[in-house]
Chains A and B, each alone.
Chain A
Amino acid sequence: MIAIVNYGLGNIQAFANIYKRSNIPVRIASSHEELVTADRIILPGVGAFDWAMTKLNESGMRDVLDELVIGKKRPVLGICVGMQMMAKRSDEGKLAGLGWIDAEVRKFDLSNMTQKTRLPHMGWNDVAPCKKNGLFEGLESGARFYFLHSYYFLPQNQDNVLAVTNYNGPYASAVHDGNVFGVQFHPEKSHQWGIRLLKNFANL
């Protein structure tokens, strides 16, 4: 059973719809009880870093989430700000992140941007997997995903980078560390490619 963490942010229903249509068991988890039995977890997110952290910390699911991900090593997929929360800190806020991956979230540097490059990074862009991983099975080339962000995920360890996207230079658009996965783009809003990625996550 895949649980989508419902802490009041992100497009919970869009994920649920995609899994339901693919006949993959899914549950929207809004409490400790609904989350604790999950064998896979989706952590969505939109909005500012501190707002998202505050909502998650107040959701009553923070402890069980840490226990499932760190203690029981259940696969977890963070989306957009859900991915950024997995880092230790962010330029966008003051609160501590979840710290599941040794990384920080930085703002794109405007000073060295070319005139054509604007913030936020918004729209469809290419995602190039840089190592073999089940999450990107069938998405090795030509896949496009929808992005909407001004901050990017910077892992300390290059081995954590799963895929790269170019926006004023390459950055990590997908990362992983063991059972922890994060994508900066929105698979739930990325047509056939996003559906494939979400199905891949269910089969990891």
Chain B
Amino acid sequence: MVHNKGLVKTVNFSNPKYVGDPINAVRIFNEKEVDELVVLDIDASVQNREPDYNMIKNLAAECRMPLCYGGGVKTVEQVARIVSLGVEKVAMSSAVICDPRIVSQSAEVVGSQSIVVVMDVKKTGNGAKYELWTHNAGKPTGLSPLQLAKQIENLGAGEVVINSIDCDGVMKGYDLELVNEIREAISLPITVLGGAGSLKDIESLIHSFGIIGAAAGSLFVFKGIYRAVLINYPSRAEKDKLITYSPKVN
């Protein structure tokens, strides 16, 4: 996540901790042969400003792995511009909640495969139900993630990122119940974010759901109980071990 031009990691979407320079981090992730990188500018929507195209261009040029950018994307023109800078996928959240038609309009221009919808989800009503929030968990929407997931599938989204606000930065495992609910209802590729504290957590996600995207922030930037900043990533052998449960590997 990018905040004030630096790379940060949050806990429950709050207390951003500086973990380094974005371009430098990309170089390290290149060396570690990371499968995919998601960069979310957490200031853009909140400050109601344009995406930082210069930063995006520099990141895309540096990345030797696929890149997904999100933050402050509200229009089809912005989506097209970001894709033209060499970004494989564009993520949107609050814009889709405002007007889901942006999904189909964008997909028509850049193709469904590049349209990612991020759903920031929080348990509300004393844990009774899941609700979508926007603006870095600043605004409740009253909407159910399940409904939006079905809607954006029909509109031609290419991927859904389920991001648990409650689990973010906590490093105690993914919210598998939330994933299960959405996974059952749609057939889009799903990536799960929020909660991974160890490779074991990724393993249990894959064990439960087969082919699914496992994403993590804290796990790959912190080391040890004192959360010292150290960019790390599993080796190919470690990754292969994690996915041996899966019937087919992509």
Binds A, one of B54-62, B136-144, B195-203: B54-62
Given contacts A14-B64, A148-B88, contact A120 B109 (CB under 8 A): no
B244 contacts the other chain (Cβ, under 8 Å)? no
**A117 vs B109: C-alpha distance in the bound complex, in angstroms?**
25
**A203 vs B88: C-alpha distance in the bound complex, in angstroms?**
27
Given contacts A12-B86, A118-B187, A122-B158, contact A48 B111 (CB under 8 A): yes
CB distance from B52 to the nearest CB of A (A): 16
Contact B112 A120 (CB under 8 A): yes
**Mostly helix, strand, loop or mixed at chain A's interface?**
mixed
CB distance from A81 to the nearest CB of B (A): 8
CB distance from B235 to the nearest CB of A (A): 13
Contact A186 B88 (CB under 8 A): yes
Contact A189 B188 (CB under 8 A): no
Contact A17 B62 (CB under 8 A): yes
Give the residue name and chain of the A residue nearest to B247 (CB): A116
- Residue among B107, B114, B247 facing the most chain A CB atoms (10 A cut-off): B114
Q: How many residues of A are in contact with the other chain, CB < 8 A?
A: 40
Size category of the B interface is 35 or more
Contact B109 A51 (CB under 8 A): yes
CB distance from B215 to the nearest CB of A (A): 12
Query: For residue B67, which residues in chain A have a CB less than 8 angstroms away from its CB?
Result: 189
**A192 vs B113: C-alpha distance in the bound complex, in angstroms?**
24
Query: For residue B181, which residues in chain A have a CB less than 8 angstroms away from its CB?
Result: none
Within 8 A of B (CB), among A136-151: 146, 148-150
B65 contacts the other chain (Cβ, under 8 Å)? yes
**A46 vs B87: C-alpha distance in the bound complex, in angstroms?**
9
- Residue among B64, B87, B109, B189 facing the most chain A CB atoms (10 A cut-off): B64
B108 contacts the other chain (Cβ, under 8 Å)? yes
Contact A10 B86 (CB under 8 A): yes
Give the residue name and chain of the A residue nearest to B81 (CB): A8
B63 contacts the other chain (Cβ, under 8 Å)? yes
B77 contacts the other chain (Cβ, under 8 Å)? no
**A107 vs B57: C-alpha distance in the bound complex, in angstroms?**
30
**A177 vs B113: C-alpha distance in the bound complex, in angstroms?**
27
Task: Please tell me which one of the listed residues A13, A81, A150, A191 contacts residue B61 in the complex, with CB atoms under 8 A apart.
Answer: A13
Query: For residue A115, which residues in chain B have a CB less than 8 angstroms away from its CB?
Result: 187
Within 8 A of A (CB), among B25-64: 30, 33, 35-36, 57, 60-64
6 contacts between A and B (CB under 8 A): A11-B86, A14-B63, A120-B112, A148-B89, A149-B113, A188-B64
| Shortest Cβ-Cβ A-B pairs, 10 listed | A11-B86, A13-B61, A120-B113, A48-B111, A123-B250, A47-B110, A191-B33, A189-B66, A118-B189, A148-B113
Task: Report B's interface with A, CB cutoff 8 A.
Answer: 30, 33, 35-36, 57, 60-67, 80, 83-84, 86-89, 107-114, 158-159, 187-189, 210-211, 213, 247-248, 250
